[in-house]
Amino acid sequence: MKMNLIAGLVAGSTAVASVAYAEETITAVHAFPETLIYTQSFLAFVDKVNEAGAGVVQIEVRGGPEAIGMFQQPDAVRDGIVDMVYTPGSFYGGALPEKDALVASNLTAIETRQNGGIELIDQIHQEKMGLKYLGWFDSGVCYNLWTRDEPSFDADGNLEVEGLKLRGNAVYNAFFANYLGAQVIDLPTGEVYAALQRGVVDATGWTQIGLIDLKWNEFLNYRIEPCFFSTDLGVIVNLDKWNALSPEAQKIVQDVAIQHEIDSFNALRTKRDEDFAALDAQGMKVVSLEGDAKANYLLAAREKNWERMQGLMAEHPMGTANYDRLIELFYDAEADR
């Protein structure tokens, strides 16, 4: 009887120990194809977590848009179908319009991590969508307009877009359609190559990085400066899953994410310079707005975005309570001077 009791206690303690030290798994998907530079950045983050979290926590990547459609991924992580998603905030902007603060930002993840901006975005994600906002990756990269044909300007130096078939989406349209007055055709990233090839569109907004990866440079010959907006790529985690992780696992994942905000900023600045050099060598021409035309262009990009954000926030139960604070934390007026 005594031996059976001891054996039972030993077996029980072994089971408890195995549970305490069991390696936790986080399932993940990414919005863009694996070949794109931004996805490669996310996969580098995964590798870092898996190295630092050996025996404690691992991220298991289930694939990209072929596994779960890119626009369905935010709902999938909110509903617990997958634990983690790397995606632009713009893909769930209807549920969380506050993400436009990142789009209109002229600061980086490093700066907004320090000033409390990312903490506020995390709180809003938790309250409105039941998501943990883990980190803003690949920040510091802005957008340009890229065109097939040489752009034209009016007598005041403003960009003329009449007749331009411009690929649009939720990120660009407040600026492209409402300010520039362009004809916009909404297309997901994966359909743009074919649309350029067939002449469905002859211009698009896109980040400073990745045009070569997507092979859009086969059709686009001009880059219009200045750049505008900012990438809003981030990692979101199902909040129930996050809260269920051990404190040790949470710390590993969060610490690696914060470091990757720094690493990805530095890496993509280098990549941008390499891409620009490669495009220049292929004959890409750069056309720049100047003076008041440049200032008005940048002002419109920012203010049309904020206007859109404020209007959408007003439709939500939380209202516009965080509007002014978001602009304060994600925009530095001095940086634009």
| DSSP symbols for 7-58 | HHHHHHHHHHHHHHTPPEEEEEEESS-TTSHHHHHHHHHHHHHHHHTTTTEE
Average pLDDT estimate for 7-26: 54
The span from the CA of 229 to the CA of 231, in Å, is: 7
pLDDT of 291 strictly over 60: yes
17: confidence class by pLDDT, cuts 50, 70, 90: very low
Who wins on pLDDT, 12 or 318? 318
Average pLDDT estimate for 262-291: 96
Who wins on pLDDT, 133 or 299? 133
pLDDT of 220 strictly over 90: yes
pLDDT of 336 strictly over 70: no
* CA distances from residue 287 to 22, 131, 183, 284 in whole angstroms, order as listed: 57, 41, 21, 10
Question: Exposed/middle/buried for 205, CB within 10 Å: 0-12, 13-18, 19+?
Answer: buried
Average pLDDT estimate for 215-222: 97
224-260 tens-digit pLDDT: 999 999 999 999 999 999 999 999 999 999 999 999 9
Portion of the chain with pLDDT greater than 90, in percent: 78
The span from the CA of 69 to the CA of 80, in Å, is: 15
115-169 tens-digit pLDDT: 999 999 999 999 999 999 999 999 999 999 999 999 999 999 999 888 889 998 7
pTM: 0.84
181: confidence class by pLDDT, cuts 50, 70, 90: confident
The label of the residue with tokens 């949470």 reads 250
* Helix (H) / strand (E) containing 220: none
The span from the CA of 192 to the CA of 194, in Å, is: 5
33-89 tens-digit pLDDT: 998 899 999 999 999 999 999 999 999 999 999 999 999 999 999 999 999 999 999
8: confidence class by pLDDT, cuts 50, 70, 90: very low
Contact predicate 157/293, CB 8 Å: yes
- Compute the chain's Rg from CA coordinates: 23
Pairing of strands 84-88, 233-238: antiparallel
